[in-house]
A and B are shown apart, each in its own frame.
Chain A
């Protein structure tokens, strides 16, 4: 059984943490990651810093440009993931980035490097699922890589079903019409209604709610409607303050 399937069989609300590789220092990723896993984080999402991250808010933009200034490259990210894999054998690791990065590295070389680093899946927000199916699906399959697609409050049911068909890991439920970030500390009733609607669709993939999750309360709410939640911006802000250890401790205690 692959890591993704095994992880989603756990009878708990899963926590997925997003880290911008190369932030705050070039080689921070392995250290931050092992701290996350020690605290019981279930899935790691590694952000591949990009010069023009269209789907991202100010915090991920800033961490990405600092990481690029620090000298992060895809090659280094693969090496760092290999390091993480020396100790962490079970947790799924996803890479998140933009299609242009994959294209310039070479789609096949990229998938091969992912497989060698034991990456489990990809999240490429600007890769339309139709193009994925036409051009990349078989390549990812060859290298044993899964893919996740985003769903938003404005994605209609027909399209959600199509995305669910194309997806083979988890559907990434974007909590609001927004880029990453946001500072609310609880979901609105319309957001909850949207989560409920998705949850009742009986999709084939598990779901995780992400974007703008910053509090224990939201994490718990997300667990009521999905298989778990993804936290990026709030975590990176805690890294910036040097308080990531407490931040994760609090989240995971509540989460158990």
Chain B
């Protein structure tokens, strides 16, 4: 378990650096979130939805072909098999219940690749709540199928036209809208933003590591894995996959970020390696920025990983040495996606393929138990795969 201080700090990272116009909104959430999250009624309703609507628990699958290939015991946590096809739905359903409990009737969300937008729009359709999803103009063009899914689900997709017109700007726009509409609930998509969001989202994604732990004991007969590997955009699937193992130092935690065209190419999203301490979207964390603190637009072929910050909890885990950071380039991720597809018959999301690519970079021993969080499925990335593999 990894909980921030009352003010939302994980060591020196986190907090709520928000303008006064946002203070009351964030404070209302801070005062309410644990009350509801820890209530029996909430827990039961969420557990029910996760089981019957999302399809949890997701399998912990022993990838035997991949295991022989890498010479270790490789397990995949199949978040790709959830309803809507990525871990994002765990968070969206939890937060929509929270919103309803807080008496909110309108939902806003930001999205980059569109996965969180789809998850939020899905949760809103289910609860009959109107939903606005802010999405960078550039991403709207890159991710047309997800835009169509959101629209079909009844959400309004609002183009973010400020700044670089991608995820960071969509997040800015959502926050600005929230300032002007304090009665709406802002359903954030990752372990980012001002306190209490990082803690809230981490708790809702923690179901991933809870299941991994139980499945390893019951189905595999081991107390803990040797490694847990997850890709990192904002950090929510990593936070969820690590959560229950953080105190257990026998488990090595590996976070894999997007190196884009290479760490030193000037086109990457490698916040762990290139970021310095700064403030983004209301929290203090590692940020890709210029010397004067202007935030740099990151790059990755995978739209879900090109975020110039990183959740404060992960920044803290890295800073304290509890978690190791690796990176994978576009090319390495593409190769890893192809390897998984051909060895196991599973087409992963390009984001998740970054986690798989890290398998090459660890010196694994036979019998070591390695859990890779397969955060999403690759349907949304088919266009990219078609282009790069000439399919």
User: Shortest beta-carbon distance, A210 to chain B, in Å?
Assistant: 12
Binds B, one of A6-14, A38-46, A146-154: A146-154
Enumerate chain B residues within 8 angstroms of A178, measured Cβ to Cβ: 21, 179-180
Q: Are A105 and B292 in contact (CB under 8 A)?
A: yes
User: Shortest beta-carbon distance, B275 to chain A, in Å?
Assistant: 12
> A152–B278 Cα gap in the complex (Å)?
26
* Main SS at interface, chain B: mixed
Q: Which of A54, A99, A100, A149 contacts B176 (CB 8 A)?
A: A54
Residue B17, interface by CB 8 Å: yes
User: Shortest beta-carbon distance, B24 to chain A, in Å?
Assistant: 4
The chain A residue sitting closest to B175, CB to CB, is A54
Q: Are A73 and B21 in contact (CB under 8 A)?
A: no
Q: Are B289 and A104 in contact (CB under 8 A)?
A: yes
A-B contact count, CB below 8 Å? 107
Chain B 276-315, CB-CB to A under 8 Å as 1, else 0, gives: 1111111000010111111100000000000000000000
Binds B, one of A124-132, A201-209, A247-255: A124-132
Enumerate chain A residues within 8 angstroms of B289, measured Cβ to Cβ: 100, 104
Known: A51-B294, A52-B172. A65 touches B163 (CB 8 A): yes
Known: A52-B168, A54-B282, A55-B21. A100 touches B293 (CB 8 A): yes
Residue B20, interface by CB 8 Å: yes
> A251–B182 Cα gap in the complex (Å)?
33
**Which of under 10, 10 to 19, 20 to 34, or 35 or more describes the interface residues of A?**
35 or more
User: Shortest beta-carbon distance, B223 to chain A, in Å?
Assistant: 42
Q: Which of A103, A155, A179 contacts B23 (CB 8 A)?
A: A155
Chain B 16-40, CB-CB to A under 8 Å as 1, else 0, gives: 1111111110000000000000000
Chain B 79-114, CB-CB to A under 8 Å as 1, else 0, gives: 000000000000000000000000000000000000
Enumerate chain B residues within 8 angstroms of A214, measured Cβ to Cβ: none
Residues 140-181 of B at the A interface (beta carbon under 8 Å): 162-163, 168, 172, 175-176, 179-181
- Which residue numbers of A lie inside 8 Å of B, CB to CB? 50-52, 54-55, 57-58, 61, 65, 68, 73-74, 98-105, 125-128, 131, 149-152, 154-156, 159, 163, 174, 177-179
